[in-house]
């Protein structure tokens, strides 16, 4: 009933128990939140934000430096943008690394990849090659083979796993150590005090929460200025097993899904992938710890 994943060491997963379900969405309209907003430093700004088809922001790009905020790379999609309350199935079943297929328009039949979901706006971000993006319109639809929710490590039941395609996990190459801990390659390690919007939410399987990057000294100290879309990151002392909360010794692993933001309490968004107590997950810094790098998509295509 289980599959062995990873080439560094064998970590069993419950592969044959996982359910694959089709979910379908459409392009989410680009959104303007207000004529002007106010940044954490008191500066008023008006710039691009969530939604639409974003041609020049991709997995692998820096999350900083854009003339925008909460920018979602590639295609922002939604089930029904007129009623966000019905989004749960589309957001929940689509996992990082799942295959997305265009089912309408000139690009019909083209394949892409799920990056992750953005809470609040309830958007699911999809990566497609440039040639496909050029053919897409805001009326197009996408079919996703939702696969990964319910994923477990049978030999490590204390690790909660969400939003992760087993094929991506296989390429990620986690290491099972002799002491029972699991080493996880990440591109950055975030101190627990640097997490903001989304703390306290139960939606670990349908949303994200933000890494605060307004304190430049802290950003440089922890190497957060290196953050890219698609990066795997670890958050220290955060428990995401049944919601998002502070707990000493807990470790949460996630993937970066949207850009920085000047708004107070906001920053680059991170979607939860796994979480455990007692430092059972051991983050290991690696430059290649990015889902786009592992799958050869985005800037890594």
Q: What is the DSSP string of 65-104?
A: S-SSSS---EEEEES-TT-GGG-HHHHHH--BT-EEEE-S
Containing 171, the helix (H) or strand (E) segment is helix 166-172
Q: Domain check: are 125 and 30 in the same one?
A: yes
Whether 137 is covered by a domain: the verdict is: yes
Whole-number average pLDDT of the chain: 94
Assign residue 272 a region: left if phi > 0, alpha if psi is -120 to 50, beta otherwise?
beta
Q: What is the pLDDT of residue 118?
A: 96
Do 98 and 183 lie in a common domain?
no
Tens digits of residue pLDDT in 165-200: 999 999 999 999 999 999 999 999 999 999 999 999
Q: Is residue 217 part of a domain?
A: yes
Domain C-terminal end among 118, 146, 174: 146
Q: If you ran DSSP here, which 8-state letter would residue 125 be given?
A: E
Distance of CA 176 to the CA centre of its chain: 23
- The pLDDT of 228-243, averaged and rounded, is 98
Instruction: Mark which of 146, 176, 201 sits at the end of a domain.
Output: 146
pLDDT given for residue 7 in this prediction: 53
């Amino acid at each position: 009933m289980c599959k062995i994943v990873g080439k560094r060491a064998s970590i069993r997963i419950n592969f044959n128990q996982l359910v694959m379900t089709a979910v379908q969405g459409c392009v989410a309209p680009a959104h303007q939140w207000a004529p002007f907003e106010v940044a954490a430093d008191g500066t008023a700004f008006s710039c691009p934000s969530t939604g639409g088809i974003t041609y020049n922001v991709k997995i692998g790009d820096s999350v900083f430096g854009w003339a925008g905020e909460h920018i979602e790379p590639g295609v922002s999609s939604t089930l029904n943008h007129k009623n966000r309350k019905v989004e749960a199935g589309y957001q929940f079943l689509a996992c990082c690394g799942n295959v997305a297929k265009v089912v309408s328009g000139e690009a019909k039949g083209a394949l892409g990849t799920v990056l992750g979901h953005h809470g609040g706006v309830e958007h699911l971000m999809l990566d497609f090659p440039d040639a496909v993006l050029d053919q897409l319109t805001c009326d197009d639809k996408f079919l996703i083979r939702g696969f990964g929710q319910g994923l477990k490590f049978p030999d490590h039941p204390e690790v909660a796993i969400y939003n992760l395609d087993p094929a991506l996990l296989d390429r990620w190459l986690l290491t099972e150590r002799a002491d029972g801990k699991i080493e996880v390659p990440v591109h950055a390690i975030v101190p627990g005090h640097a997490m903001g919007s989304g703390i306290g939410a139960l939606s670990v399987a349908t949303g994200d929460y933000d890494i605060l990057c307004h304190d430049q000294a802290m950003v440089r100290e922890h190497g957060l200025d290196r953050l890219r879309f698609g990066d795997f990151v670890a958050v220290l002392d955060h428990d995401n097993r049944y919601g998002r909360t502070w707990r000493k010794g807990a470790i949460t692993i996630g993937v970066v899904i949207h850009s920085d933001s000047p708004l107070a309490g906001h920053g680059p968004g991170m979607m939860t992938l796994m979480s455990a107590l007692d430092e059972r997950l051991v983050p290991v810094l690696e430059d290649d710890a990015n889902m786009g790098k592992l799958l050869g998509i985005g800037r890594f295509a």
